[in-house]
Amino acid sequence: MPVRGFTAKDAARRRRYLKETFTAYLYLLPATVVLVTFHFAPVFYAFYVSLLEWNYISPNPTFVGFANYAALLKDSDFITSLMNTVYYVIGTVPTSMAVALFVAILLNQKIRGLAWYRTVYFLPVITAANAVAIIWFWIYHPDYSGLLNGLLDRLGIPIQSWLLDPKWAMPCIILMSIWKGLGYNVVIFLAGLQNISSEYYEAAQIDGAKGWSIFRYITWPLLSPTTFFVLIISVIGSFQVFSQVYVMTRGGPLKSTLVVVYYLYKIGFEDFKMGYASAMAYALFVIIFTLTLLQRKYIGSRVHYQ
Amino acid sequence: MMRHQAMSRVKTQHSLGAIAVRILRSVGIHALLLAGATIMLAPFAWMISTSLKDYSEVFTVPIRWIPSRLVWSNYVDAWNEAPFARYFFNSAFVATVTTIGQLVFSALAAYAFATMNFFGREVIFTLFLGTMMIPDQMTLVPNYVLLFRLNWIDTYYALIVPWLGSVFSIFLMRQFFQTIPKELYDAAQIDGCSRFGYLWRVMVPLSRPVFITCGLFTFIGSWNAFLWPLIVTNTDRMRTIQVGLSTFMQEHGTVPTLLMAASTMAIMPVLVGFFFVQRQFIQGIARTGLKS
């Protein structure tokens, strides 16, 4: 008797579980269809396309195996775009993080007008990259009417042709990008600083710690999870730079600002070499993925969690 | 006695000194922050200033920040040079529909993940999170090919449908839904509330902050999107404001007054809107940034 009673209950539970599974799938359906179609399946489809020579319109693409990948390694423009992207990432990320941390520490000193400052520093973050790139395009105007040259001229420094100069074009894009992204890092650092319990500071003060040593031995280690997060997000984001380059330089002059995503755009949507563009997308994916793993392994191990 | 006086004088001096140091420190901090704020605002000021100048005044040396005459007609001219009304409508329409649709889709999925016990829940959720690792550039070619096959290139579908699913929103909403006690559901059920009714009438109102955060992120992301709309639109009928601005630059790039008037028009709605929601938005960034 107890055995039969148990099975009946068990069957009822099973039925309820199946019913709930069915209901849950109905709720998941809309989001899942979109995510699978436009985010998940494309990863596999992109790999298939990367094995083709195809302009997306022709009904018979040519299967070329890994030829696109082999060509990628020999494509000097691709190598250049990779180098330029690395230059951009190294130019943008550390400076932006250092300045943002400095600003966040200033904002964390219980000052008046905190909300106002925070909003002002955040304004460039919420404006579209292509729109602010247009403004900076004129700030960098090569003659005296450009804002930057105008300021330099007043200080007696010789003017430059900025975006028209292969030596200066990339630093110009880097400067604009730091300006644009700074506020985001400030907000995250500020939240991280506010998360550190004041007890640590009080204890350190009792022990006679001052200024720099408080930062070095209390703030910096306790802030490291935040710093690590900002680092990963910034590197991933910087690798995908596009709008600034598209608006200000189109990869020029002399390919000095040719970055990976802009090159991918050009190959895929101006030359319509879909196979080659997909191979490049895969290379970019692998690079970003590897970098994230490496950072997790080498820097992540030194992160200090409270 | 004398010693006591001397000591108290030292003490007052010390505290006066301390006050002076504190004031100096505060002045120093504000000076630094104001200098930074000036750099943050200068490009916007430069944009607005140029947009109101007479063409001849743009190239004067030294630079004049305040135009001698405010040329409002630059805005009218820019507006008439390109179908900006259409661009604005497209952006507003696309951002609104994307935001509403995405919030609904995400809430449904998050509700299932947070409150239901079903087969494959952990696996599906992990796969969902996995898609966040995929950079958008990865999906450009496949999605373009798919939309081409569907005949969706240069339609609102192309601008909206791929962005209706957001793992980020699902994740945030799930986190929030999980904090709502299950007893509330039992109570609502006794009162005759259906499963969907519970989501709509209890969960959503209780989760307003998370909906506001996700909604703002999606709306601003959609309004500012550039690469995707650039690829999938090819007529003025479908261009969003960002793509329209970029085409405008190609055609009128040498007329800074018009270009800056157009940029101001494209940027202003977001800047003005931001002042109303900046607190929720920045808190949302701070919260989600730290959690992930």
Whole-structure pTM value: 0.89
B110 and B225 part of one domain:
yes
Cβ distance A147 to B42 less than 8 Å, yes or no, reads yes
Q: pLDDT tens, A161-170?
A: 899 999 999 9
Strand boundaries in chain B, DSSP class E? none
Determine, yes or no, domain membership for B289. Answer: no
Q: pLDDT tens, A190-226?
A: 989 988 888 888 888 888 877 788 888 888 988 988 8
Q: What is the Cα–Cα distance from A169 to A61, expressed in whole angstroms?
A: 38
Q: What percent of chain B has pLDDT over 90?
A: 48
Cβ distance A28 to B267 less than 8 Å, yes or no, reads no
pLDDT value at residue B252: 77
Q: What is the Cα–Cα distance from B261 to B74, expressed in whole angstroms?
A: 6
DSSP sequence for A281-297? HHHHHHHHHHHHHHIII
Question: Which 8-state DSSP code applies to residue B60?
Answer: -
Residues of A in contact with B47 (CB under 8 A): 135
> Taking 50 as the threshold, does the pLDDT of residue B292 lie above it?
no
Q: pLDDT tens, B256-265?
A: 889 999 999 9
Residue B2 or residue A298, greater confidence: A298
pLDDT value at residue A3: 54
Nearest Cα neighbor of A25 from B111, B200, B214 is B111
CB A164 within 8 A of CB A146: no
B54 and B151 part of one domain:
no
- CATH code of A67-302, in short, is 1.10.3720.10
B239 and B149 part of one domain:
yes
Q: What is the Cα–Cα distance from A220 to A303, expressed in whole angstroms?
A: 10
B227 and B98 part of one domain:
yes
pLDDT value at residue B150: 92
Spell out the residues 6+ positions from residue B55 whose beta carbon is closer than 8 angstroms to its own: B255, B257
Determine, yes or no, domain membership for B259. Answer: no
Determine, yes or no, domain membership for B165. Answer: yes
B36 and B157 part of one domain:
no
Mean pLDDT of A36-64: 90
User: What DSSP element (H or E) covers A53?
Assistant: strand A52-53
Which residue among B39, B118, B230 sits closest to A21, beta carbon to beta carbon? B118
Question: Which 8-state DSSP code applies to residue B134?
Answer: S
CB B211 within 8 A of CB B103: yes
Cβ distance B142 to A31 less than 8 Å, yes or no, reads no
> Taking 60 as the threshold, does the pLDDT of residue B71 lie above it?
yes
Question: Which 8-state DSSP code applies to residue B223?
Answer: H
Band of pLDDT at residue A5, cut at 50, 70 and 90: low
Instruction: Answer whether A90 touches B (CB < 8 Å).
Output: no
Minimal CA separation from A292 to chain B, in Å = 10
Window 277-306 of A, Cβ < 8 Å to B: 277-278, 281-282, 284-285, 288-289, 292
Segments making up each domain of chain A, as ranges = 2-49, 67-302
CATH number, domain with residue B197: 1.10.3720.10
> Taking 70 as the threshold, does the pLDDT of residue B12 lie above it?
no
Determine, yes or no, domain membership for B286. Answer: no
The helix/strand/coil state of A1 is coil
Mean pLDDT of B221-234: 93
Q: What percent of chain A has pLDDT over 70?
A: 97
Q: What is the Cα–Cα distance from A271 to B163, expressed in whole angstroms?
A: 26
CB A260 within 8 A of CB B135: no
Band of pLDDT at residue B182, cut at 50, 70 and 90: confident
Tokens of B219: 């709306």
Chain A residue closest to B120 (CA)? A21
- Tokens 């019913």 sit on residue: A19
pLDDT value at residue A302: 72
Q: pLDDT tens, A137-177?
A: 989 988 877 888 888 888 888 888 899 999 999 999 999 99
B50 and B184 part of one domain:
no
Backbone conformation region of residue A164, classed left if phi is above 0, alpha if psi is from -120 to 50, else beta: alpha
Domain boundary residue among B43, B58, B73? B58
B102 alpha carbon, distance to own chain's centre: 15
Residues of B in contact with A229 (CB under 8 A): 289-290, 292
DSSP sequence for B166-199? -HHHHHHHHHHHHTS-HHHHHHHHHTT--HHHHI
**How many A×B Cβ pairs under 8 Å?**
278
Q: pLDDT tens, A212-271?
A: 888 888 889 889 888 988 998 899 899 999 999 999 999 889 999 999 999 999 999 999
Tokens of B17: 């000194």
Mean pLDDT of B4-18: 60
Determine, yes or no, domain membership for B45. Answer: yes
CB B257 within 8 A of CB B51: yes
Q: pLDDT tens, B199-221?
A: 898 899 998 888 988 998 899 99
Band of pLDDT at residue B11, cut at 50, 70 and 90: low
Residues of A in contact with B63 (CB under 8 A): 145, 147, 150
pLDDT value at residue B289: 61
> Taking 60 as the threshold, does the pLDDT of residue B4 lie above it?
no
Determine, yes or no, domain membership for B257. Answer: no
| φ and ψ at residue A272, rounded to 5 degrees | 55, 40
> Taking 60 as the threshold, does the pLDDT of residue B8 lie above it?
no
> Taking 80 as the threshold, does the pLDDT of residue B288 lie above it?
no
Determine, yes or no, domain membership for B245. Answer: yes
Q: pLDDT tens, B102-159?
A: 999 999 999 999 989 999 999 999 999 888 888 888 899 999 999 999 999 999 999 9
Instruction: Answer whether A229 touches B (CB < 8 Å).
Output: yes
pLDDT value at residue B291: 42
Residues of A in contact with B218 (CB under 8 A): none
Q: pLDDT tens, A110-130?
A: 888 888 999 999 999 999 999
The dihedral of CA B168, B173, B174, B179: what is its sign? positive
Q: What is the Cα–Cα distance from A124 to A121, expressed in whole angstroms?
A: 7
Determine, yes or no, domain membership for B120. Answer: yes
pLDDT value at residue A289: 87
Residues of A in contact with B148 (CB under 8 A): 56-57
Domain extent, residue B162, equals 82-252
What is the number of structural domains in chain B? 2
B97 and B217 part of one domain:
yes
B183 and B100 part of one domain:
yes
Residues of A in contact with B197 (CB under 8 A): none
Minimal CA separation from B269 to chain A, in Å = 10
Measure Cα distances from B62 to A151, A152, B39 in Å: 9, 11, 19
Which residue among B33, B131, B289 sits closest to A191, beta carbon to beta carbon? B289
The letter for the amino acid at A169 is A
Q: What is the Cα–Cα distance from B191 to B34, expressed in whole angstroms?
A: 57
Minimal CA separation from B162 to chain A, in Å = 6
- Long-range contact set of residues A64-72: C-beta below 8 Å, sequence gap at least 24: A64/A275, A68/A275, A68/A276, A68/A278, A68/A279, A69/A279, A69/A282, A69/A283, A71/A276, A71/A279, A72/A276, A72/A279, A72/A280, A72/A283
Which residue among A27, A33, A41 sits closest to B111, beta carbon to beta carbon? A27
B121 and B236 part of one domain:
yes
> Taking 50 as the threshold, does the pLDDT of residue B35 lie above it?
yes
